[in-house]
Amino acid sequence: DAGVIQSPRHEVTEMGQEVTLRCKPISGHDYLFWYRQTMMRGLELLIYFNNNVPIDDSGMPEDRFSAKMPNASFSTLKIQPSEPRDSAVYFCASSFRGGYTFGSGTRLTVV
């Protein structure tokens, strides 16, 4: 298994632009999580899905953030419009019976 696959690895965009981060979870995992890593708050949970259904999006910072999981093998996190304070590393993780596996992350820089 290739693990959790995130793309792109790095993204540099201008303020105001739309950004889409992608995640392919491990096959058979029934939970998918989006986290954001910042120096101040560490790893923050943004949203998670169970069997493709969003369960808790209370961590999504603003309406500019949205996430979808159209099927069991794909999820997106979209920021529109992006702002410099969104710059961070975004991680996707999937799990089955409590065993989490993280992707390598997407480093987002908004200038």
Q: Least CB distance from residue 102 to other proteins, whole Å?
A: 3
Q: Least CB distance from residue 81 to other proteins, whole Å?
A: 27
| Contacts with other proteins, 55-74, as mask; x by CB under 8 A | -x------------------
CB 5 within 8 A of CB 102: no
Q: Site residues for other proteins, window 3-32 (CB under 8 A)?
A: 4, 31
Q: How many CA atoms lie within 13 A of 14 on its CB side?
A: 0
First vs last C-alpha separation in the chain: 36
| Contacts with other proteins, 82-111, as mask; x by CB under 8 A | ---------x-x-x--xxxxxxxx------
Query: Does residue 61 have a cis peptide bond before it, meaning omega lies within 30 degrees of 0?
Result: no
Q: Least CB distance from residue 45 to other proteins, whole Å?
A: 7
CB 17 within 8 A of CB 83: no
What is the sign, positive or negative, of the torsion defined by CA atoms of 52, 53, 55, 60?
Answer: positive
Binding site for other proteins (CB under 8 A): 4, 31, 33, 35, 39-45, 48, 50, 56, 91, 93, 95, 98-105
